[in-house]
Structure 1
Amino acid sequence: MIKGILFDLDGTLLDHRAAADAGITAWVSARAPGHPRLGEAAGLWAALEGPHLQAWHAGECSWAEQRRRRVRALCQELALETPGDLDAAFAAFAEHYRDGWTAFPDAADAVAALDGFRLGVLTNGSQEIQEAKVRAIGLGGRVGPVLTGEVLDGCYKPVPACYTGAADALGLAPGEVLLVGDDVANDVTGPATAGMRSVWLDRLGVETAPPGFPRITTLTDLPPLLTRP
């Protein structure tokens, strides 16, 4: 019986992609007005995100260093002068990014409809920043604890210990918890390795769910799914 719900954050409750796309476009535009490849900046930045975050998760570099690497790589790709202070450069992007933090329209109502379940957020980001995001989108105190690898003994999705640790944080067994998220590896197939159930949130509605996993295209469909026999 499902007693707890874990939400992914970026791409599930918060529209991370829209905020990041707008943020990096504004950053490049400020550094190089009229840049001929401005329209490509968002896609290039998105492609850099995963590999460098994974390097941080693996302990290959610090949180700050993965940020520096991303800025450096983007500048090289766009033939922009590499900033002398990469930390300040990323901070400038982060200001634009924070301006775009917005909850998906279906998030608040879906959370409210899950009264009676133990709730939590399981995310691979930085603890401080992810907690700030939850507050910024109006869900502070409503979605339970925000759980990252920084509070789960260095375990990040899709490492099985990440899911078992998150279940423990809710005071539940993995089999009593359902994870809802948009990333197939981290939020759908990953939880199964720890005996946790999952639902894939495919907001674009254009892909096929992995066999055996339920798929929804909006969080509005989550509460009814949980009440089905």
Structure 2
Amino acid sequence: MTIRGVLFDVDGTLYDYEKAEEFGLHEHLVAEELSDRFESPAEALRVWREVREEEYPRFLSGELTFVAQKAERIRRFLAQAGVVGALEVTDEAATAWFASYAVRRDAVRRAFDDAQPTLGALAGRFRLGVVSNSVTAHQRAKLDAIGLLGYFTEPLVCSQEHGAAKPAASIFLAGCEALGLAPAEVAYVGDDYEKDAVGARDAGLRAIWLDRSVSRGPGAVDAGIRVITSLTELTGL
């Protein structure tokens, strides 16, 4: 079938989350006088991301709310920093700590350089939408802040409201339904190989894996998955 719609992941695909995260954490630790609790900024970032990768899936599975996973991440991170009583920090205090970090992170948030030109080239020719493992209001505000929300006229489909997270087929199919198209008429673009590319392919969409770091060549991926290293390649597809 001819592709008539394109669905996108957000973080790591359209939004340069990792760079903003690194800057925000460094600035916040300096402000909180905690930067000397780690051997280096790189070590602090490693611990931060390790905790995130363990706690965020608990939100996606429904075990924790979006806010609760933030609080748990802060308690664990502060404990790793050697802060006395870190594990007993209240939800309110942990949430406030995260919010202060987020202000610094969001001060430098931006879209990848290839996002706006690509969306601009696709808009009008294809129906564009978003499928994300997050909360709709959170992702909508983020896309608005980085100047990309206007390219998506259809509803955003996010795991919190949908009730299932990628790589579940149902969330990809919900994205297709939001576009009013059959799965075979929709391409999905994301940077996470398993959650985005494999999940989209198994749901019947045209799967496109965005491998910005060129971590493996086309021959190293599964059948039915197209590899690109920049969003600008989409216009040629």
**1:16 corresponds to 2:17:** yes
User: Matched residues in 1 for 2:161 and 2:110: separation?
Assistant: 25
Q: Quick check: 1:72 aligned with 2:42? A: no
Show the counterpart of 2:51. 48
Deviations 1:120-164 (A, max 9, x none): 111112211111110011112213332202332x12111111111
- Structure 1 residue 206, shift from structure 2 partner: 2.5
Q: How does 1:109-188 map to 2 (within 5 A)?
A: 109-114=117-122, 115-144=124-153, 145-152=155-162, 154-188=163-197
The aligned amino acid for 1:139 is: L
Is it true that 1:37 corresponds to 2:39 in the alignment?
yes
Q: CA deviation at 1:50?
A: 2.5
Residue 199 of structure 1 aligns to a residue whose secondary structure is: strand
Name the TM-score, length of structure 1 as normaliser.
Answer: 0.92
Q: TM-score, normalising length from structure 2?
A: 0.89
Q: Which residue of 2 aligns with 1:93?
A: 101
AA aligned to 1:177 is V
The count of residues paired between Structure 1 and Structure 2 equals: 224
Structure 2 unaligned segments of length 5 or more: list them: none
The structural deviation recorded for 1:80 is 2.6
Deviation at 1:33, TM superposition (A): 4.6
Match of 2:222 among 202, 208, 211: 211
CA contact (8 A) 2:135 2:161 kept: no
- RMSD across aligned positions (CA): 1.5
Q: Distance in 1 between matches of 2:7 and 2:53?
A: 22
Q: Deviation at 1:170?
A: 0.7
Higher helix share: 2
Q: Stretches of 4+ moved more than 3 A in 1? A: 33-36
Pairwise CA distance, 1:8: 0.6
Gaps of 5+ in 1: none
Tell me, in whole angstroms, the C-alpha distance in 2 between the residues paired with 1:170 and 1:48.
35
User: Matches of 1:6 and 1:186 in 2, distance apart?
Assistant: 14
Identity of aligned residues (%): 34
